[in-house]
Amino acid sequence: MILRLLNLLVIGALVLAAAYVYRIKFDSAAQAEKLAKLRSEVRHERDQIAALRAEWGQLDNPARIEKLAKRYLRLQQIAPTQFDSLDHLPDRPPPPPDEERADVGIGGMIEDLQDAATTGSIPAPAPPGGAPSPASGAPHQ
């Protein structure tokens, strides 16, 4: 009786092992098909990239671009008299006056702070409405 039970357990274990091996084989076959499909897609994409590079090479051909430029742009040749030296450039325009600089925004504020740092004092902001500030010594009502 123990031998029959042992034989049945061994047969059951063999059936389960065979089912597990079949499942592993099926999964590996599915993975192999997936890998083959991905390789063919990669090959197809590489072929497309090669075709696009060849087309780009034709479109980027300087002779073709020159021909199109002559046909559609009607450009003139550059004359040596069109070039000039840097010493003939005009002078830099003068900076705007201080009253215009106040409306510049943050740039004007930064310049004011830099000016104050060199003189050692920060100018007091003007009070709203032109009223004297309490720090100026005027009586406060």
Task: With H, G, I as helix, E, B as strand and everything else as coil, classify residue 94.
Answer: coil
Cβ-Cβ contacts under 8 Å for 135 (sequence gap 6 or more): 124
pLDDT digits (tens, 9 = 90+) for 83-108: 888 888 888 887 776 655 555 567 66
CA distances from 123 to 29, 40, 104, 117, 129 (A): 82, 74, 18, 11, 18
Q: In whole numbers, what is the pLDDT of the chain averaged over residues?
A: 81
CB 139 within 8 A of CB 132: no
- pLDDT exceeds 60 at position 129: no
Domain ranges of the chain: 2-72
| Cβ-based neighbour number of residue 117 at 10 Å | 10
Could you tell me what percent of the chain has a pLDDT over 90? 45
Is the separation of the CB atoms in 52 and 60 below 8 Å?
Answer: no
As given in the structure block, the two tokens for residue 102 are 């106040």
Q: Does the pTM of the predicted model rise above 0.95?
A: no
Q: Is the pLDDT of residue 60 over 90?
A: yes
pLDDT band of 56, cuts 50, 70, 90: very high
